[in-house]
Amino acid sequence: MSTEKKNNDDAPAAPGGALKEAESRLHYAVRELSQSSWVITLLSVVVALVVGALLILATNPQVQATTGYFFAQPGDFFLTSFEVIRDAYSALFRGAVYDWQAATPDRAIRPITETLVNAVPLILAGLGIAIGFRSGMLNIGGQGQIILGATCAAFIGYAFNLPVGAHLLLALVGGALGGAIWGGIAGVLKAKTGANEVIVTIMLNNIALYLLAWLLRQQWFVQTGSNQPIAAPVEDSARLFGLLGTGFRLHAGILLAIAATVFVWWLLERSTLGFEFRAIGENPDAARTAGINVPKATALVLIIGGGLCGLGGAAHLLGTEYRLGAGIAGTLGFDAITVALLGRSKPLGTFLAGVLFGGLRAGGVLMQAQTGTPIDIVLVLQSVIVLLIAAPPLVRAIFFLPNPDGTAKSPRRRRLKDQQAAEAAQEPAPTQEVTK
Amino acid sequence: MRSFTPKALFSLAAVGVLALSACGEAPEEEPEEDDAAAEENGEAQADDNSDFTACLVSDAGGWDDQSFNESAFTGLQNAIEDFGIESATAESSSDSDFGPNVDAMVQQGCDLTFGVGFLLEDAIDEAAQENPDLSFGIIDSTLPSEPDNGKPLVFNTSEAAYLAGYVAASMSETDTVATFGGIQIPSVTVFMDGFADGVDRFNEDNDADVSLLGWDKEAQDGSFSGDFDDQSAGRALTEQFLAQDADIIMPVAGPVGLGAAGAIEDDGDAKLIWVDTDGYESTDYGDIILTSVLKQIAQAVYDTVEEGAAGEFTAEPYVGDLENEGVGLAPFHDFEDEVPDEVKDKIEELTAEIISGETVVESENAPQ
């Protein structure tokens, strides 16, 4: 209880004012996100597909050829454009959901399982990030926590010889623990010293990356006997077992993801701890006044969030990759942030967003292989979706939707809000969470 | 209204440009693009090999990495032009894409699928075992299970780097040369090992004392920029070497080498040794490039595709060395006159020695 005294919120009173303000704006944005409607999400996806289509057209050599004589034969341009977009998006769909052109029935339903395979780490890590968002903490360290999770899980997976069930369990727990420690560093630093979690987690990402690069050059770690920077494959006993037999990669990680989604829902919506988390997210001062141990809750948010990210990394490694390389995390940590944003930091929303992104990834592979459309288009789709969700007024303007408040003068209201925020920021008062 | 004007101007300009560019003539012969041609990038030429499909999966570097992905891609493009085969390519954006990308190639009906880089060895190995009637290739690595339908394409670049080390040592005016790598992996350090040995050879033969910065072959430790992207890191490392009096530098780091080239150009006196491709042709720094250590990935891919299209694919590893000209030293180009004839003769002598086995360039990083 004595730690309550040195709370982080009154520590950085003088310096870091601008940072604080920027941070409260970020909190505002996150909250704004969680309040906009599902219609906006859907429309954002539509707009993203349109933007993606334009880019596909702009980069397609056949379409470029027809624009050269557009005025002579405009029909060519429109026909080719239509065909190119139809091929690209149908390949995206066939790669992500159901492939009606596949040779065998197995291959036809494989895409949806691939989507789920891709979704597993995104969901788990997305949930970890979402817990932070709900608690008013911007955990940008998903990448580092995933790396640590995968590293610990991999090492346990190949360095130990254990019976089937225990090995897998230990590897998963080890992965979660690795992530939890990495998140916990940021959590404890924030709780004890008021260190800004955004900065700390970003730095921890870099440290994790180089720690892994160093480990991969140590023979005691990789245990391969070769000097390629890639670790030995994990033992069969530590792998997440497949659910559908040969030809499918879908593994038990998806059950883990579902369980984690339910757990996070229970944690945030039904448990006392989750209430504390949300309370410090809404207003730490009020939370403290209400008798919540804010530093403890702060640290726990990042420990649990890190643990989920670590579990995501572990499931990724034990379920599909099996071998630890320097690029094990890919861009998972950053995709997880967008997944959590898209899912509005709600457990079910994050789950569905993870499936959507997993599908885009799976479909992107087939789209690239069959139509030559660059895989980067998928990244553009993801980015545009999140961009639009972050700016609901833009989507409303594009589709001429009414403002949910019933007033059509949102710009003025925004300015008013900004003004209030600026005034509040000028005051030295600790309450800067002016956003109502 | 004020904000309207620039927008309008911009739109007008954009429309104008579009309209102008769209005024071309329609092609005289209708290209008759049916659905099938639209899907296949219109590559079906009048050649007899159009039933053979060769495919390529990159690692995270992508086809524009100015290094081995790009070389492999060039090789495939050349093969497409010359043999009229079908092709498909997939860029991987992260390590988890390797498996799905290789699988997509197999589903596409690729007869021969290459994986570029050692990171793809597991994905290619697995696909080769599951599809015994298709052929596979892996560049810069070997396949763990050595399947009958998987061909490793590896390069003993230490042999060519040995020659480069000798040239560098003989041309250095400050008796100091340097090298650095991108990431410490065998396909990079094999260059550095050979370079170090070449410098040592020059010292032995001429009783000289040229020192090498950036790589200690014994300890297998040296300078690395940390990735294959960050040119400023290459520049910083190079500036350090220059400050320590090095005047010939060999970066083994793909595009990061361009940062080194920038620093050397500013320095004015120093020279660069490029790797993988002939830097005189592939970069804009021809006037400071003494020579290049060539690694003929494009040729190896091209040859393998040719074998495959002719139905003569074998799993026998391709090991590029000086003998089969899979690796080599590029011409001196602008420095042709500056390099003394005795050095040129010595290089030819060394080449013959290495080919005959009289001199063995040893490197624990060389392909086995």
B104 vs A contacts (CB less than 8 Å):
95, 365-366, 368-370
Least confident of A129-133, A429-433, B51-55, B324-328: A429-433
Distance (Å, whole) CA B318 – CA A51:
45
pLDDT at residue A7 is higher than 50: no
Q: A215 or A435: which carries more pLDDT confidence?
A: A215
Distance (Å, whole) CA A168 – CA B308:
42
Assess A176–B contact: CB distance below 8 Å, yes or no.
no
Residues 359-378 of A with CB under 8 A from B: 362, 365-366, 368-372, 374-376
State how far the alpha carbon of A224 is from the alpha carbons of A228, A234, A323, in Å: 9, 11, 11
Number of C-alpha atoms within 13 angstroms, CB side, residue A285? 8
Least confident of A22-31, A39-48, B82-91: A22-31
Distance (Å, whole) CA B294 – CA B85:
27
SS3 content of chain B, % helix, strand, coil (to 5): 45, 15, 40
Pick the CATH number of B48-155 from 3.40.50.300, 3.40.50.2300, 3.20.20.240, 2.40.370.10: 3.40.50.2300
Domain interval for residue A219: 125-356
Name every residue whose Cβ is closer than 8 Å to that of residue B343 and which is 6 or more positions away in sequence: B166, B167, B170, B171
Distance (Å, whole) CA B205 – CA B346:
11
Distance (Å, whole) CA A330 – CA A317:
12
The string of pLDDT tens digits covering residues A369-396 is 888 888 888 888 988 988 888 787 888 8
- A18: distance to nearest CA of chain B, Å? 30
Q: Please, which pLDDT band fits residue A171 given cuts at 50, 70 and 90?
A: very high
- A229: distance to nearest CA of chain B, Å? 6
Residues 67-126 of B with CB under 8 A from A: 88-91, 93-97, 99-101, 104-105, 107-108, 118-119, 122
**Residue A328's CB: how many other CB atoms inside 10 A?**
25
Instruction: Tell me if A162 is assigned to some domain.
Output: yes
Q: Please, which pLDDT band fits residue B62 given cuts at 50, 70 and 90?
A: confident
pLDDT at residue B38 is higher than 50: no
Q: Find out whether A382 and A126 touch, Cβ atoms under 8 Å.
A: no
pLDDT at residue B361 is higher than 80: yes
Q: Do B38 and A76 count as a contact with CB atoms less than 8 A apart?
A: no
Token pair for B191? 């260059």
- Taking CA atoms, what residue in B is nearest to A67? B22
Assess B185–A contact: CB distance below 8 Å, yes or no.
yes
* Residue given tokens 């019933």 in the structure block: A406
Instruction: Tell me if A114 is assigned to some domain.
Output: no
pLDDT at residue B12 is higher than 80: no
B157-295+337-356 has the same fold as B48-155: yes
Of B23, B90, B104, the CB nearest to A71: B23
- Taking CA atoms, what residue in B is nearest to A73? B26
- What pLDDT is stored for residue A24 in this prediction? 73
Q: Find out whether B65 and B255 touch, Cβ atoms under 8 Å.
A: yes
Q: Please, which pLDDT band fits residue B316 given cuts at 50, 70 and 90?
A: very high
Q: Find out whether A84 and A57 touch, Cβ atoms under 8 Å.
A: yes
Of A72, A226, A365, the CB nearest to B104: A365
Token pair for A186? 């940021």
- Taking CA atoms, what residue in A is nearest to B33? A80
Assess A322–B contact: CB distance below 8 Å, yes or no.
yes
Q: Any idea where the domains of chain B sit in the sequence?
A: 48-155, 157-295+337-356
- What pLDDT is stored for residue B28 in this prediction? 55
Q: Do A362 and B100 count as a contact with CB atoms less than 8 A apart?
A: yes
Instruction: Tell me if A255 is assigned to some domain.
Output: yes
pLDDT at residue B80 is higher than 90: yes
Q: Please, which pLDDT band fits residue A418 given cuts at 50, 70 and 90?
A: low
A91 vs B contacts (CB less than 8 Å):
none
Distance (Å, whole) CA B251 – CA B245:
16
- Taking CA atoms, what residue in B is nearest to A233? B122
Q: Please, which pLDDT band fits residue A193 given cuts at 50, 70 and 90?
A: very high
- Taking CA atoms, what residue in A is nearest to B185? A228
Helices then strands (H, E): number in chain A?
Answer: 18, 0
pLDDT at residue A365 is higher than 60: yes
The amino acid occupying position A255 is: L
Token pair for A202? 């970003």
- What pLDDT is stored for residue A429 in this prediction? 45
H-type alpha helices, chain B: 4-21, 35-39, 68-83, 98-107, 121-130, 157-171, 186-206, 231-243, 256-267, 279-282, 297-309, 341-356
B157-295+337-356 in CATH: which number?
A: 3.40.50.2300
- What pLDDT is stored for residue A3 in this prediction? 41
Instruction: Tell me if A350 is assigned to some domain.
Output: yes
pLDDT at residue A433 is higher than 70: no
Predicted ipTM of the assembly:
0.75
pLDDT at residue B252 is higher than 90: yes
- What pLDDT is stored for residue A16 in this prediction? 58
pLDDT at residue A305 is higher than 50: yes
Tell me the whole-structure pTM to 2 decimals.
Answer: 0.80
Distance (Å, whole) CA A72 – CA A75:
9
- What pLDDT is stored for residue A178 in this prediction? 97
Q: Please, which pLDDT band fits residue A431 given cuts at 50, 70 and 90?
A: very low
Q: Please, which pLDDT band fits residue B79 given cuts at 50, 70 and 90?
A: very high
Q: Find out whether B22 and A70 touch, Cβ atoms under 8 Å.
A: yes
pLDDT at residue B39 is higher than 80: no
Mean of all residue pLDDT scores within chain B: 86
Least confident of A32-41, A115-124, A182-191, B259-268: A32-41
Of B94, B99, B118, the CB nearest to A331: B94
Residue A159: name the closest of A215, A79, A207 by CA: A215
Assess A151–B contact: CB distance below 8 Å, yes or no.
no
Q: Find out whether A340 and A350 touch, Cβ atoms under 8 Å.
A: yes
Distance (Å, whole) CA B185 – CA A104:
41
Pairing of the two strands B53-57 and B211-213: unpaired
Q: A128 or A76: which carries more pLDDT confidence?
A: A128
Q: A364 or A419: which carries more pLDDT confidence?
A: A364
Supply φ then ψ for residue B208, to 5 degrees: -100, 175
Q: Do A83 and B108 count as a contact with CB atoms less than 8 A apart?
A: no
Query: According to the per-residue pLDDT averaged within each range, which of B11-15, B91-95, B309-313 is highest?
Result: B309-313
Q: Do A330 and B94 count as a contact with CB atoms less than 8 A apart?
A: yes
Report, as an integer, the average pLDDT of A167-193.
Answer: 96
Assess B184–A contact: CB distance below 8 Å, yes or no.
yes
- What pLDDT is stored for residue B15 in this prediction? 57
Number of C-alpha atoms within 13 angstroms, CB side, residue B204? 8
Distance (Å, whole) CA B258 – CA B230:
10
Q: Do B95 and A320 count as a contact with CB atoms less than 8 A apart?
A: no
Assess B368–A contact: CB distance below 8 Å, yes or no.
no
Total count of domains within chain A: 1
Instruction: Tell me if A395 is assigned to some domain.
Output: no
Q: Please, which pLDDT band fits residue B33 given cuts at 50, 70 and 90?
A: very low
pLDDT at residue B367 is higher than 50: yes
Distance (Å, whole) CA B149 – CA A157:
30
Q: A149 or B47: which carries more pLDDT confidence?
A: A149
Instruction: Tell me if A399 is assigned to some domain.
Output: no
SS3 (DSSP) at B215: strand
The angle subtended at Cα A402 by Cα A399 and Cα A405, nearest 5°, is 145
Mean of all residue pLDDT scores within chain A: 86
